[in-house]
Amino acid sequence: MRTSKERAPIYEMLEAHAAKRPISFHVPGHKGRTDWGVPGADQRYGPLMSLDVTELTDTDDLHHPQGPIAEAQHLAADCFGADETQFLVGGSTAGNLAMILGTAAPGELLITQRNVHRSVIHALMLAGVQAVLLPPAIDISTGLALIPEENLIEQTLARYPEAKGVILTSPNYYGLSTDLRPIVERCHAAGIPVLVDEAHGPHYGMHPLFPQSALQAGADVVVQSAHKMLNAMTMGAMLHMQGKRVVREAVLQALRMVQSSSPSFPLLASLDLARRRIHTEGPQAFEAALSAARRIRQLVSGTRFRILHAEAREISDGVRYDPLKVVCYDEWGQWDGFAVRDLLAARGCHAEMADARFVVLALGIGSTYEDGEAAGQALAAISKELGAARSAVSGEHAPLSGGLLLKAPQVPEPVRFDRQVKNVISVPLEEAVGRTAGEWIVPYPPGIPELFPGERVTVAAIERLKQWNRKGAQIQGAGDPTLSRIRVWD
C-alpha cells in the first residue's frame, strides 16, 4: 500500500488521461501530436505532447484547484513544511511578483535590501509602493553581499512601524546565507511579516548538511525555484505560506493576475514529481549531488584553484554555505571567473555563472558523482595548462573582498516606485544631489545598485559612486559609465 507522499497526483492524472487516448477538441492545437515534420524534434517531444493538456473535467485548474492539483499542492506543503503551497509556472519571478503585490497596496511601505533580483524591483513598481532599500551586510572573507544586518533591520522597523512587510533574499547566488530566525522573530515582534525570495534554496532544510530553510526560520511567505536545484522543469517554482500575518487570498489573487490562465501541465507534473522524489527519499535524494561536490573538491586540491568553502556548515561570523554551490577561484587572482568559466566550457563543463573573481558551479538533485569527476578533472587540467605554481604569476594575490564596507549604514529614505516612464535629463554628477535618479547605477562587482530610478540622490550616494569609480569598478546601467554625468528626473 503506497503512502500518499508516494503519489504524484498531477502526473498520475495526466498518465490516466493519456491512456484513454482521448480525441482532443480543445486547446492546445497540437492535439497531442508532433507533426512538425522535423524527425529529431518529433522524436524528442513526442512522448511529452500527450501530457500537454488543458483544464478539463478530469484534469484540474491551477487557479481554482479541486482535484489533483489541490492534492499535489497539499503534498508539497507537507513536504516543505508550509501551511499552504502554490505551484508556479512562471518561476520565482511570478512568486516574487505575487507575494509583494499581495502584501502591500499602492503607496504603502515595504522594507527590503538593495541586492534583490529584478523581479522584486518590478513587483515594487507594479505595486506602486514605497520601499526602504537597505544596504546588505558584506561577507568579509569573500566580499559577497548577504542580507542586511539584524541591527539595521531593527532600526528600520523602529523608524517605519507602518511597514507592511520585510522582503529578504536568501541564500544569495553563491549559496551564502545567514540565520534568518533572529530577524524573523524581530519582525514578528513588531507585527510585520517576512517574505523570503529563496529562489536558490528549494533544497534547504532537506539534508543535515544544508542550511535551515526560510520556512523553518519562521518566514511567512517563501518563494523557491524548484527548477534551480530540484528536478522540476525550467520555470517550475513554488510559493509557500504559513501563519496568518499575510492575507493569503490577496496573494492568491495576485497569482491569478501574474500567471497564465493556461499553465503548462507537464511543468506542473514535474513540480509534483520533484516533490515526490524528496518526500519519499528524504536526505538520500541529495547524496549523489553531495558526492559530486566532494569529488570536485578532492580533484581541485593541489591545483591553483580553490573552492570557497571547506566542507563545514559555517564559514565565518555565522555565514552558512550551500554545499551544492561549488564556488571556485584562482588562488593567485590571475584568471578571473569569466576566463575560468570559458575554459571549463571549452571542456564541456558549463558553469551557472561567473564574475570578476569566482565561477559558480551549481549542482542540483540531478547531479552525479561522474559530473563532479568531469568538473574536477577539467579544473585540474586547466590548472596544469595555466601553470599551478605561483611563480608563473607576476601579479599580487588579488584580495577576495570586492565589497565597499559600510561602517555604520544609516536607514535610508524610502524610494517611491511606480511604473510610469519619466522624462530624464543628464546632469553633472555633483549637480544630481537632491534630485531624483532617473537610471539604475550598479557598480560591478559586487552588482548591488547604488541608485535606483526614483531614488533621491544624496551626498553620501555621490561619495560612494566616486569611491567605486576610484576602485575601478565597472558601472552598469548608467548612460555614462564614467559617471561624469548621471540621468535624473526632469
Ligand X SMILES: Cc1ncc(COP(=O)(O)O)c(C=O)c1O
Binding footprint of ligand X on the chain (CB under 6 A): 91-93, 96, 117, 119, 169, 173, 197, 199-200, 225, 237
8 Å CB contact between 292 and 353: no
Coil/strand/helix, residue 477: coil
Residue type, 345: A
Minimum distance, C-beta of residue 146 to ligand X, in the bound complex (Å): 13
The secondary structure element, H or E, covering residue 144 is strand 144-145
Q: What is the residue whose three cell numbers read 520556512?
A: 215
Residues recorded for the chain: 490
Minimum distance, C-beta of residue 345 to ligand X, in the bound complex (Å): 19
Minimum distance, C-beta of residue 445 to ligand X, in the bound complex (Å): 16
Minimum distance, C-beta of residue 404 to ligand X, in the bound complex (Å): 21
For Cα atoms 199, 203, 209, give the angle at the middle one, nearest 5 degrees. Answer: 130
DSSP labels, 232-244:
PPTT-EEEEE-SS
Alpha-helical segments (H) within 204-314: 226-229, 248-258, 265-281, 287-300
Minimum distance, C-beta of residue 226 to ligand X, in the bound complex (Å): 9
Select 103 or 169, whichever has its Cβ closest to ligand X. 169
Residue 197: Cβ within 10 Å count: 30
Q: How far is 459 from 417, CA to CA, in rounded Å?
A: 21
Coil/strand/helix, residue 377: helix
The secondary structure element, H or E, covering residue 378 is helix 369-386
Minimum distance, C-beta of residue 225 to ligand X, in the bound complex (Å): 4
Select 119 or 264, whichever has its Cβ closest to ligand X. 119
Select 305 or 358, whichever has its Cβ closest to ligand X. 358
Minimum distance, C-beta of residue 117 to ligand X, in the bound complex (Å): 3
Residue 336 phi/psi, 5° resolution?
A: -80, 170
Which residue in 168, 267, 276 sits closest to 214, CA to CA? Answer: 168
Minimum distance, C-beta of residue 92 to ligand X, in the bound complex (Å): 3
Select 365 or 462, whichever has its Cβ closest to ligand X. 365
Select 87 or 173, whichever has its Cβ closest to ligand X. 173
DSSP labels, 303-328:
SSEEES--SSSB-STT-EE-TTEEEE
Which residue has the CB atom at the shortest distance from ligand X?
91
